[in-house]
Amino acid sequence: MLDSIFRFLRWGYFDDFIVAKKCANLQNIIDEKSINGWKMKSTIEELHAFVTIVDSGSIVMAAERLAQTTSGVSRALQRLENKLHVTLLERTTRKLKLTQEGQLFLDRARKILNDLTEAEDALLKSDTDTAGLIRVDSATPFVLHVIVPLMREFMQLYPKIEIELNSNDQIIDLLEHKTDVAIRFGQLNDSSLHARLLCKSRLYIVASPEYLAHHGYPKRPSDILKHAQIGFSKVNHLNTWPIRVDGEQLTVQPKIKASNGETVRQMALDGLGITCLSAFLVQQDLQQNRLVALFEDQIEQYEQSIHAVYYQQEHLPKRVRLFIEFLVQKLSIYPSFSVAAALN
């Protein structure tokens, strides 16, 4: 039950102090100095055992109702009394009798258990798991070219879900940035994250028709080095292209660099040189002849994996899973994408 209450607190449904007071008005039950840390003197199991003993009239009957051993229920009652430094029930061989302290504590204990039950029922009946905010982080090009065009349909399908899109071209700490799901490209190195494959996107070596008309087409891969190359400033492995020269993958030393794939694309469109970009960035440019693909028959069959990642947790919120599944389904509209069939 407490796990449910803690989830309510994390989601902001209750104020910590209000819930604490509601669940424990009796000062002897909770150490007031540690109320924000939820360090209760008594446990829910002990409270439940105490109330059930009173309602059943005996420890034996309480044990049957709780499906526990008689000794286990008896020890729970004894632990509770030891923590509170009072006798709650006077025991004789024939009957149990509430003490004055026990009667006072019983009323408060019932209220605590009832409040917890009501809170848990409210949680189970609510639709909060399919509503609320999803914070999404991704590189700017993926946000602009993939996520944004899909947002209208997603919001129509799930009007109670809110989306916050954050663009970062460097890898961020999800917890520090309060991010629910991030889109990551290539090999994943953080073992603390769960990952779901969204799709795989091939790479293209491209240039604008204007650039090629002015500077000519490279006839062989090694000729690329004689041309102006546009590359990346902060992600060096993206300057190694999926084509071989003398048996080695071509690594360029671009004179024009940018930290952002969208900026690299714009410079290619403006005729500043040859570059290598992912399909999701350039497929429409290729279809509309704004860019020309080079050496398509010589490019290695390299596909860049694109994952949705999130921190490990026992239960992924349904709203986050719905968002991930939606992306997997919709990425199939891109013919140059190789899409994962389903989530793991």
Most confident range (mean pLDDT) of 233-242, 254-263, 329-338 is 254-263
Mean pLDDT is lowest, of 36-40, 42-46, 202-206, for: 36-40
Convert the pLDDT of each residue in 272-319 to its tens digit: 999 999 998 998 999 999 999 999 988 886 778 888 988 766 567 889
Judged against a pLDDT cut of 80, whether residue 87 lies above it is answered with: yes
State the CB neighbour count (10 A cutoff) for residue 149: 11
Helix (H) or strand (E) holding 6, with range, is helix 2-11
State the CB neighbour count (10 A cutoff) for residue 5: 21
State the DSSP code for 127: -
Residue count (the chain): 344
Most confident range (mean pLDDT) of 20-24, 135-139, 226-230 is 226-230
In terms of residue numbers, what domain contains 92?
2-125
Q: What is the pLDDT of residue 330?
A: 87
DSSP class per residue in 275-309: EEEEHHHHHHHHHTTSSEEESTTTS---EEEEEEE
CA 89 to CA 329: how far, in whole Å?
61
Whether 84 and 40 share a structural domain: yes
Whether 140 and 109 share a structural domain: no
Query: Using 50, 70 and 90 to split pLDDT, how confident is the model at 234?
Result: confident
> What average pLDDT does range 227-251 have in this prediction?
91
Q: What is the pLDDT of residue 117?
A: 81
Whether 143 and 79 share a structural domain: no
Whether 200 and 62 share a structural domain: no
Whether 179 and 327 share a structural domain: yes
Residues 6+ apart with CB under 8 A from 144: 262
Whether 121 and 188 share a structural domain: no
Judged against a pLDDT cut of 90, whether residue 42 lies above it is answered with: no
Structural domains counted in the chain: 2
Nearest to 8 by CA among 113, 132, 182: 132
> What average pLDDT does range 214-233 have in this prediction?
96
- pTM equals 0.58
Convert the pLDDT of each residue in 313-337 to its tens digit: 656 788 988 999 999 888 865 555 5
Phi, psi of 291 (to 5 degrees): -130, 155
CATH of the domain at 64: 1.10.10.10
Whether 279 and 148 share a structural domain: yes
Q: What is the pLDDT of residue 313?
A: 62
Q: What is the pLDDT of residue 91?
A: 87
Whether 85 and 181 share a structural domain: no
Whether 168 and 302 share a structural domain: yes
CATH of the domain at 280: 3.40.190.290
Arithmetic mean of pLDDT over the chain = 81
Q: How far is CA 259 from CA 139, 148, 182, 233, in A?
A: 10, 21, 18, 5
CA 185 to CA 308: how far, in whole Å?
9
> What average pLDDT does range 245-269 have in this prediction?
93
Whether 237 and 338 share a structural domain: yes
Q: What is the pLDDT of residue 196?
A: 87
> What average pLDDT does range 146-171 have in this prediction?
90
Domain boundary among 84, 100, 125: 125
Q: What is the pLDDT of residue 19?
A: 37
The CA-based angle 235-236-239, given to 5 degrees, is: 110
Structure tokens at 86: 């009072």
Most confident range (mean pLDDT) of 54-68, 125-139, 261-275 is 261-275
- The overall longest dimension of the chain from CA atoms, in Å, is 105
Residues 6+ apart with CB under 8 A from 124: 4
Q: What is the pLDDT of residue 334?
A: 53
Domain boundary among 125, 157, 186: 125
CA 5 to CA 14: how far, in whole Å?
9
Mean pLDDT is lowest, of 20-29, 66-75, 127-136, 173-182, for: 20-29
Contact between 299 and 208 (Cβ < 8 Å): no
